[in-house]
Amino acid sequence: MSQDPQPGAPHDPVGEVLRLLKSAAGPANPMVLLDGPPLSGVSRSMYEALQTQLPHARLHQLTAGELADACTGPDTSRLFFAPGHQCVVWLDGLSPADLVLLGQGFLDQVLPQALVMASVNSAWRERILRDRSTLTAPARTVLLEYAQRVSVPFTMTARERSYLRENGFPVSKGLAESLVGGENLIKHYRRAGWENRDGRLLVEAAVDVRRCGIHRPLSEDELHQLWLARCADGSDPRFQQALEWAGTAPQNASMGLLYPAARTPSRPAGGWRVLAYAAGADDGDHGHRARPLDDAWEQVRELLTGADDQYALGVAAHLHGRGGTARAALADAVERAAPEHPIADAARSALHCLSPDDLG
């Protein structure tokens, strides 16, 4: 469905993105940041605007870490050079750690060569802007000085509601949320507390990884270990049944709570992503009851031990006021990353910003 209810109106994020993209032909490319809650339609808004304004652009979908790696390579321009084409970098679902990393000077290298489009969850953005520490200062620089923000509203216009009804979709809270059956998925998730405890524990474990600041896909083995941390008497067959339940779309929904991630050169195995809308519900979005993270911080720190994960966990823990976890995770990231890797530098800088009162 084309989203152009009233061009130029506040509810028209595609029109706002189009306005910003018109400056893409100039010497300084913009960074366009789409800001909205999960399932507000930020990705659809990006693709629709890009197809309208820059249909022949060369699109690179990267993570912030992959972009930083590219910038430290011998010839950054090779990634973005496409004769006769505008290059666009799409950074989808930035975590707090991603924003801190991007603020380490990498955008200065990329924006002369490529347009950067990105998305961020509104809740993370607000939490970062409320934080006044030097640790998150690079992220605030990105949000306030580099990014031209486009807010993607969750509410629907009357036209969008009519479109859903005419095409047989359930009309719920938001457009993208209605298209995938977001509220039905949350009801399915909540009912699993007594209908499918193993499946519920698996989804909770994956949701909490995202709530702890780690937005990447999870491998089946990682999901298994996270599940066992909450279901100590679990067997392999029970885990497989739980994974099948979590990945199956329930009635009146078009996807599962867990869904296969796209394969990329950096992640050839793909893995599983968790529905970000479920993570938002557990954080208290849209009137849902928030679920405490409790022991999840330490479970995630013990089981996802890679430098990238520890760095992401450390930044998110700091934003949640968990200084000890932040210090321990950032120290692990420094120790486990290659000495000259961008993550090592970012984690080292973040660690130095922590207060001496933040004991490990």
Domain boundary among 133, 151, 169: 151
The answer to whether residue 275 sits within a structural domain is yes
Is there a single domain that holds both residue 115 and residue 46? yes
Distance (Å, rounded) from C-alpha 164 to C-alpha 168?
6
Q: Cα 127 to chain center, whole Å?
A: 15
Residues with Cβ within 8 Å of residue 99, at least 6 apart in sequence: 64, 120, 128, 136, 138, 139, 142, 143
Is there a single domain that holds both residue 226 and residue 137? no
> Token pair of 87, please?
């290059």
The answer to whether residue 173 sits within a structural domain is no
Distance (Å, rounded) from C-alpha 307 to C-alpha 285?
30
Is there a single domain that holds both residue 312 and residue 185? yes
**pLDDT 10s digits, 205-239:** 999 999 999 999 999 999 999 999 998 788 999 99
30, 115, 206 from 21: Cα distances, Å: 8, 9, 35
Which structural domain range is residue 86 located in?
13-151
Is there a single domain that holds both residue 223 and residue 315? yes
300 pLDDT exceeds 80?
yes
Within a 10 A sphere around the Cβ of 7, how many other Cβ atoms?
A: 11
> Token pair of 85, please?
């084409």
* Residue labelled with tokens 């640790």: 135
* Residue labelled with tokens 């976890």: 325
322 pLDDT exceeds 60?
yes
Is there a single domain that holds both residue 104 and residue 248? no
- DSSP states of 237-299: HHHHHHHHHHHS--TT-SS-SEEEPPP-SS-TT--EEE-HHHHHHHTTGGGPPP---TTHHHH
In angstroms and rounded to an integer, the radius of gyration of the C-alpha atoms of the chain is 20
Task: For 121, list phi and psi in degrees, rounded to 5.
Answer: -70, 130
The answer to whether residue 160 sits within a structural domain is no
Q: Cα 303 to chain center, whole Å?
A: 20
Q: Cα 321 to chain center, whole Å?
A: 21
Is there a single domain that holds both residue 77 and residue 144? yes
**pLDDT 10s digits, 59-83:** 999 999 999 998 987 766 666 766 6
Within a 10 A sphere around the Cβ of 193, how many other Cβ atoms?
A: 12
pTM for the model stands at 0.89
Distance (Å, rounded) from C-alpha 278 to C-alpha 183?
9
> Token pair of 294, please?
């409790």
Please report the pLDDT score of residue 104 as a whole number: 94
The tally of domains found in the chain comes to: 2
Is there a single domain that holds both residue 116 and residue 47? yes
Is there a single domain that holds both residue 29 and residue 130? yes
CB 152 within 8 A of CB 12: no
Of the two residues 193 and 120, the one the predictor is more confident about is: 120
Distance (Å, rounded) from C-alpha 198 to C-alpha 245?
9
Is there a single domain that holds both residue 138 and residue 207? no
Distance (Å, rounded) from C-alpha 9 to C-alpha 353?
42
**pLDDT 10s digits, 1-21:** 333 333 344 467 888 888 888
